[in-house]
């Protein structure tokens, strides 16, 4: 399993077990060349069909 797969598995375990702090609302980016992580906060859009006030795209 690679780095990204390991991070995804860790996030799934955290969500399922209710432990730790999830990356919900944040985007974690990996620069594989320099092995540097960057985290960006992502705000919900009220008009979004998936996460907005009236989700219809699920």
pLDDT at residue 58 in the model: 56
Helix (H, G, I), strand (E, B) or coil at 29: strand
**How confident is the model over 7-17, as pLDDT tens digits?**
999 999 999 99
**How confident is the model over 13-57, as pLDDT tens digits?**
999 999 998 888 899 999 989 999 999 998 888 888 888 888 787
Identify any residues that bridge with 23 across adjacent strands, giving them in sequence order: none
Identify any residues that bridge with 36 across adjacent strands, giving them in sequence order: 31
Helices (H), the chain: 3-17
Task: Note the residue count of the chain.
Answer: 58
With 60 as the cut, is the pLDDT of residue 3 above it?
yes
Helix (H, G, I), strand (E, B) or coil at 33: coil
Q: Quick check: 26 and 39 in contact, CB under 8 A?
A: yes
């Amino acid at each position: 399993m690679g780095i990204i797969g390991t991070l995804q598995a860790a996030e799934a375990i955290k969500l399922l077990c209710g432990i730790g702090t999830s990356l919900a609302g944040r985007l974690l980016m990996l620069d594989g060349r320099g092995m540097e992580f960057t985290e960006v906060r992502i705000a919900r859009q009220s008009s979004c069909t998936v996460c907005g006030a009236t989700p219809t795209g699920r």
